[in-house]
Amino acid sequence: MYLEKITSPADIKGYGAAERQVLAREMRDAMLRRASVHGGHFGPDFGAVEAIIALHTVFDSPRDKIVYDISHQSYPHKMLTGRVEAYLDEAQYDAVSGYTNPEESPHDFFNVGHTSTSISLATGLAKARDLAGRQENIIAFIGDGSLSGGEALEGLNVAGEMDTNFIIVFNDNDQSIAENHGGMYPQLRRLRETNGTAPDNLFRAMGLAYRYVADGNDTEALIAAFSAVKDSTHPVVVHIRTQKGKGYKFAEEDPETWHYRQAFDIETGALKHLYTDPYQTATVDFVKEQARKDPRFVFLAAGTMGGIGLTPADRAELGSRYVDVGIAEEHAVAMASGLARGGARPVFGTYSTFFQRVYDQMAQDVAVNNSPAVFVSVGASLYYMNDVTHLGFFDIPLFSHIPNLVFLAPTSLAEYEAVLRWSVEQTRHPVMIRMPVGGYEESPYPVRTDYGDLNKAIRVAEGAEVALIGVGNFAALASAAAAELAGEGIHATVVNPLYLSGLDTALLDDLRANHRLILTIEDGIVDGGYGQTVAAYYGMDAGIRVRCYGLTKEFHDRYSSRELARAHHLTAAQIAADTLTALRRP
């Protein structure tokens, strides 16, 4: 076996074609076994094996610097740069992150996980090299799906003006996470069909030199192409045609399903553990029902199936009522504003971590214009993705302080469905909804049908002395803490605020009469969040103390949700204990 002996790219530089072929097979075998046990990105890595072997054969990493877009295709790179044990030894599967990571290796330059950033990051490395008078090659490795993102297109334009060494490997597998969308893709297909000679070449239109490799899974052809552009003194694109998921039948046949895959059976491809998210299912059902009921309804996605797992069959059923704009969240938000202004009823869904990309579009395109578009934010919780690049709990400071935008955190499936329905029926406000996150117990709070009385919070339990305000996912936690306190003879008030974008000041004022301690509990960072608006509201009231529960402002990374929650006292027992202590020492 070659693979287990590789400690750095130097080890493969003397390989011949036959050895490289064996190496590629060994890498795929290792990735397959690891993925079947550990889960992770699949298709992007299986498609990029030969390209990454060729890169590390031709270039001299880390002197030459490769920046991977999203970096979900960097497993082969990690195997060749001193981290092979994490792919061979099951006990070490967790020793590497799913993305490039400078703390792991000097061959990695950035923690990357959001899309379309590689070219821009790499132009900075190239300019820094030029300022320092160094000569290394700078390479951005980017897939066709990422090219629909504005930051990547900005990067192409800037790169096209750089009169210096800059190499873009454009890894074209004719697939985004789902199918590609946008006018550039038929043109890219024409390039593939003409061996790179079709007219109106997007890269040349941006001022870049261009070269095409018809078989991007042919290591030898790639080595020839990369050798030809090595030490280039001008920016150049090497367009390589690869096959996503190559080498594993199921992934080749169904690249969407196999973009990312949880642990599975190698023989059948079947998942080992089936999990259905009731909130996703409810959202899909709602979207399809609404599309049937209302001809003005349209659902927007930005390359991630709306964050709610719309299947090809769902999308086919929705037809023209489903618009995937490619990985282009900014466009999606602005288009939603245009749709609302034109009388349609748009909903745009994506993950909380990707909503971070659209603050300005939400503020300017939507909120300034008070366009009644609806935004469904998925995974806004510490109980969701835990990679530092995919955290979803920074959204409350980001979106609750935009004027006009109504930001809602429903606490149960029933409340979520009611809020969804209201949001698409009303036309007075833009609305953002934190889709609840599964895995916790729901509180059977009363559910309204009209949410037009903005900021109206609901007292779900009447008590005295202590009030717990549990936001969204953490409403049940507030109720559970109240139950613990009841066991100690303290009958706390529990409030479901629902609205993150404003306070129910009448309710807060009422609490003054017979409460001395207010606890806010939110599934997000405390800084700039909901609880702090409550604390500030009571700031001048010496009779009321406020404690805000939530996460510290940190890039928590690959954490155990359970441990992170405990460390932040986000358990009912801890909240109850804190409260007892606080009541004893006023």
Just list the catalytic residues. Answer: 244, 329, 357
Size of the site for a copy of itself (CB under 8 A): 122
What residues numbered 113-152 form the site for a copy of itself, per CB under 8 A? Answer: 113-114, 117, 120-132, 148-152
553/562 with CB nearer a copy of itself: 553
Contact set for a copy of itself, span 251-290 (CB under 8 A): none
Task: List the one residue from 335, 374, 408, 570 that touches a copy of itself (CB under 8 A).
Answer: 335
Closest contact distance (angstroms) between CB of 522 and a copy of itself is 12
- CB-based burial of residue 445 (10 Å sphere; 0-12 exposed, 13-18 middle, 19+ buried)? buried
Residues numbered 484-543 forming contacts with a copy of itself, rule: CB under 8 A: 525-529, 531-533, 535-536, 538-543
Q: For residue 206, give every residue at least 6 positions away whose Cβ sits within 8 Å of its Cβ, in sequence order, or none.
A: 156, 157, 159, 160
Residues 53-82 touching a copy of itself, rule: CB under 8 A, are: 67
Pairing relationship of beta strands 374-378 and 431-434 according to DSSP bridges = parallel
Nearer to a copy of itself, 126 or 284 (CB): 126
**DSSP state string for 311-348:** -HHHHHHHGGGEEE--S-HHHHHHHHHHHHHTT-EEEE
CA 217/CA 243 separation, integer angstroms:
7
Residues 548-567 that bind a copy of itself (CB under 8 A): 548, 553-555
By the rule CB under 8 A, 364 interacts with a copy of itself = yes
Closest CA to 352 of 386, 322, 318: 386
- Alpha helix (H) residue ranges in 269-408: 278-293, 312-318, 329-341, 352-355, 359-360, 395-399
Site residues for a copy of itself, window 208-237 (CB under 8 A)? 208, 235
Dist. CA 244–CA 174, nearest whole Å:
8
| Candidate residues 230, 296, 456, 491; the one interacting with a copy of itself per rule CB under 8 A | 296
Residues 165-204 touching a copy of itself, rule: CB under 8 A, are: 181-187, 199-202, 204
Q: Which of 25, 192, 211, 545 binds a copy of itself (CB under 8 A)?
A: 545
The nearest distance, CB 194 to a copy of itself, in angstroms, is 14
Best CA proximity match to 390, nearest among 435, 356, 348, 361:
356
Which lies closer to a copy of itself via its Cβ, residue 36 or residue 148? 148
Contact between 581 and a copy of itself by CB under 8 A: the answer reads no
What DSSP line would sit under 70-121, residue for residue?
TTTT-HHHHHHTT-THHHH-GGGGGGS-SS--TTT-TT------SSS-HHHH
Residue of 12, 169, 301, 367 interacting with a copy of itself (CB under 8 A): 367
> Does 154 interact with a copy of itself (rule: CB under 8 A)?
yes
Residue 303 interacting with a copy of itself (CB under 8 A):
no
Which distant-in-sequence residues (6+ apart) come within 8 Å of 369 by Cβ?
A: 337, 341
238 binds a copy of itself (CB under 8 A): no
The contacts of residue 519 (CB under 8 Å, 6+ apart) are 466, 467, 468, 469, 478, 481, 546, 547, 548, 549, 575, 579
Candidates 107-115, 276-284, 424-432, 447-455: pick the segment binding a copy of itself (CB under 8 A).
107-115
**Considering the rule CB under 8 A, would residue 360 count as an interface residue with a copy of itself?**
yes
**Interaction between residue 583 and a copy of itself (CB under 8 A):** no
Residue 1 CB, nearest approach to a copy of itself (Å): 35
The reply on whether position 546 binds a copy of itself by CB under 8 A is yes
Quick one: DSSP state of residue 11?
G
Q: Does 16 bind a copy of itself (CB under 8 A)?
A: no
Pick out residues in 370-409 that bind a copy of itself (CB under 8 A).
388-389, 394, 397-398, 400-404
Can you read off the two tokens belonging to residue 475? 């409403």
* Binding residue for a copy of itself, selected from 87, 93, 109, 451, defined by CB under 8 A: 109
Contact 555, 391 (CB under 8 A): yes
Of 425, 428, 431, whose CA–CA distance to 406 is shortest? 431
Q: Are 258 and 250 in contact (CB under 8 A)?
A: yes
Answer whether 175's CB lies under 8 Å from 189's CB. no
> Stretches 5-13, 90-98, 103-111, 260-268: which one binds a copy of itself (CB under 8 A)?
103-111
Site string for a copy of itself, 421-460 (x = CB under 8 A): ----------------------------------------
DSSP assignments along 540-580, one per residue: T-TT-EEEEEEE-SS---S--HHHHHHHTT-SHHHHHHHHH
Stretch that binds a copy of itself, among 325-333, 374-382, 427-435, 561-569 (CB under 8 A): 325-333
Closest approach of a copy of itself to the CB of residue 432, in Å: 15
C-alpha 213/C-alpha 359 separation (Å) is 39
